[in-house]
Amino acid sequence: MPNRFTLDRVAFFGRTMEEYLQAFGLTTADVLDKHVLDCPSGPDSFVAEVNALGGDAVGVDLVYDQSATELEAKGRSDIAECLAQMKAKPTFYPAMDFDQYAVDKTSALERFVADYTKNRKRYVAAALPKLPFADRSFDLVLSAHLLFVYSPVEEDGFSESSNMNLQWHHKAVREIARVSAREIRLYPTAAMNSAPRRHRYIEPIMADLCANGWRVGFEPSQYRQLSTEMNDCLVARRLT
Ligand SMILES: C[S@@+](CC[C@H](N)C(=O)[O-])C[C@H]1O[C@@H](n2cnc3c(N)ncnc32)[C@H](O)[C@@H]1O
């Protein structure tokens, strides 16, 4: 399919807190009174900004065993590479202001690097589907732009070489749910390379959460990166 958008690896690419709140349909007040896990956190500035406002957020990413200098270089190079790929497929991003996008991503990266340098304990190196936290350690766990997005391209994702299949997603979401005492939010939920519809893993993932004592639904997202249709996040709240 010539107009397919694919990626050969997971980008080290992150959003600002404002973009995160839009993506997850949350307000600043919603996150400041909770112990929050951002998983994966990448070079986003959510953790830095929440803590700067007096909140309590922790980030997890598989590359947090690397130095700030290494991560800054990786982040700058991935911003340039991702933007080049996005500009080459303009039909995927019809409403995108690429210059503003580059400014936002660079701002998130710089804020992340400064905080990662000063407050390293907030950034935990770990890889889904295994997290190094006790059951119910956090009030809220947020997961953006890894689940669903990097599933294989033939299964509604962007990845050309992914092992993040449905079985991996079940393990990852069960692990995210295990460490949350109250709520999890996952974004995005749409299929990547198709007319607007849900990613095909959403239904089995929701069924699994329901079977394990969670109430699940969708809440609209104001974040505008992909299609404006089917743009919402999956919200699950613990019943037991
Ligand atoms: C595109 S970034 C998203 C960052 C942030 N959540 C956001 O939305 O801006 C994806 C991140 O997932 C991380 N990652 C990839 N595989 C992972 C895994 N198995 N466990 C934890 N992090 C992973 C990458 O290192 C990268 O930083």
Q: What is the pLDDT of residue 158?
A: 87
CB 38 within 8 A of CB 44: yes
Domain boundary assignment for the chain: 23-238
Q: What is the pTM of this model?
A: 0.95
Residue whose Cα lies nearest atom 10 of ligand 1: it is 146
Burial grade of 37 (CB within 10 A; 0-12, 13-18, 19 or more): buried
**Does residue 164 line the site of ligand 1, with CB under 6 A?**
no
Task: Pick 23-238's CATH classification: 3.30.465.10, 3.30.413.10, 3.40.50.150, 3.30.365.10.
Answer: 3.40.50.150
Q: What is the pLDDT of residue 224?
A: 73
Beta bridge partners of 125: 61
* CA separation for the pair 58, 137 (Å, rounded): 11
Please list, in sequence order, all residues whose beta carbon lies within 8 angstroms of the beta carbon of residue 127, skipping any fewer than 6 positions away.
Answer: 62
Q: Please provide the size of the chain in residues.
A: 240
Q: What is the pLDDT of residue 2?
A: 47
**Does residue 186 line the site of ligand 1, with CB under 6 A?**
no
Which residues does the chain have with pLDDT short of 70? 1-4, 225-228
User: Among 149, 235, 150, which residue's Cα sits nearest to residue 186?
Assistant: 235
